[in-house]
Copies of this chain bind each other. A is one copy, B any other.
Amino acid sequence: MRFSRQMITVEEAMRRLMERLTMQGREEVHIGEAYGRTLAVDVHATDDLPHFDRSPLDGYAVRAIDTVLATPDQPVRLKVVETIAAGDVPKITVAEGCASRIMTGAMMPSGADAVIMFEQTVQPAAFLEEVGIKRALKQGENVSRHGEEIASGAVIVRAGERINAGTLAILATFGYTHVPVVRKPRIGLLSTGVELLDVDQPLYPGKIRNSNTWMLSALIAEAGGIPLLFPNMPDDLDVAKGTLAEHLKMVDVLVTSGGVSVGDYDVMAALSDEPEAELLFNRIAMRPGSPTTSLMLHGKPIIALSGNPGACFLGFELFVRPAVQKLSGVQGVQLRTIKAKLAVTYTKPCPYPRYLRGWLLEKDGVLYAQPDFNEKAGNLGTLKNSECFIVIPAGGIGKQAGELVEVLSHAAPSWKQEG
């Protein structure tokens, strides 16, 4: 069936692959190792936040009722009964005509119901027996109330959220020394083809160094998987069957590059025809990478990417990244596109949707999608500049500059300057 493959859309290919993937099990990791991981369960507040009434600024804790007549010209004078640092437990109740000097984050003393900032008192830097209050306060003014941010028991982070620096802050606040996360999927990785040399080998005529494995390994790790690198695989079908069977025991998904096209030695294409393989897809309506293939073998999914570096890169972003995310427990994995105006006219005809590498520009709040016109000439050398894929719909007319196009973002925009 080398030349008679059934073509499906990117969306259908993704659906077929995704339904074969299930979330990994759970493990607990120390908070210092939790960055970038995905929460396995909803996590709850273990206490109120704050867990005591506290002052949000440096000043004086007072009874609001004592300040009603205060003005800058006629400050109300209160007796200072205590100084309360953050971390202290106040010892003295603030009685009528009294105030306690209080620091940011410190616990409110009983009796007091408002805080006035130093800058609204007389001689704030001095430690005096009395303080002059220069304005009237309302009850509760400048007091952070017990539980006002988060109530005990509330969900603070949901299952399926990826842990970022802000997540760590809230987990630490509630004492989560260990965090329940989804186990990282092990993603096997190999390239096919006897033409491939390792990075440390000299070039020989006809041979090239393997670049896809290094690229894919970094992408898998960045997406949240553990890359397991296997040696390059020869193009002998029987050898490949035995090798892959062994590799598949060690991984959750196997990713290969090369050998998916119509060549005489395309071993992944040949494998698709074997009875033990259940083919998910081997022809996708897209450019580049239309022969991107996926199959189930011994109960495990194989994603066979094109060996062409540009097609391999696209195949990773369309299929492998979502697969790693779904295995990692990320909720609602999808290829989410945004719209942007095409920065330049692109009219090269294509019978299938074309995914152009490029990046986003911004001008006066409008998004522009800039294709990388070095893409073809410098296929491999310009992969590093790609921040998104710009989708040119199928058909012979392309898109004019200024028309809206769909964009699939795969890296944080660097917001390159136009031009």
Residues of B within 8 A of A207 (CB): 87
Distance between A206 CB and nearest chain B CB, rounded to angstroms: 4
- A2 CB–B CB distance under 8 Å: yes
Distance between A2 CB and nearest chain B CB, rounded to angstroms: 6
- A167 CB–B CB distance under 8 Å: yes
Residues of B within 8 A of A7 (CB): none
- Contact of B364 with A215 in the complex, beta carbons under 8 Å: no
- Contact of A261 with B104 in the complex, beta carbons under 8 Å: yes
Residues of B within 8 A of A124 (CB): 3, 262
Distance between A83 CB and nearest chain B CB, rounded to angstroms: 7
Residues of B within 8 A of A149 (CB): 377-381
Task: Flag A365-406 by CB within 8 Å of B: 1 or 0 each.
Answer: 111000000000111111111100000000000000000100
Q: Which of A92-100, A192-200, A279-287, A292-300 lies at the interface with chain B?
A: A192-200
- Contact of A206 with B384 in the complex, beta carbons under 8 Å: no
A222-B169 in contact given A206-B88, A362-B338, A381-B156 (Cβ < 8 Å): no
Residues of B within 8 A of A345 (CB): none
A264-B379 in contact given A199-B177, A365-B341 (Cβ < 8 Å): no
Closest residue of chain B to A88, judged by CB?
B206
- Contact of B164 with A384 in the complex, beta carbons under 8 Å: yes
27 contacts between A and B (CB under 8 A): A49-B380, A49-B381, A50-B208, A51-B208, A58-B264, A85-B195, A85-B263, A85-B264, A87-B194, A105-B307, A149-B380, A150-B378, A156-B381, A164-B218, A164-B384, A166-B313, A168-B215, A169-B211, A169-B214, A169-B309, A172-B210, A175-B201, A175-B209, A176-B199, A341-B365, A362-B367, A364-B404
In addition to A51-B208, A86-B195, A105-B307, 11 A-B residue pairs with Cβ atoms within 8 Å of each other are: A31-B199, A52-B206, A87-B194, A103-B264, A105-B193, A164-B411, A168-B211, A172-B209, A173-B208, A175-B199, A340-B362
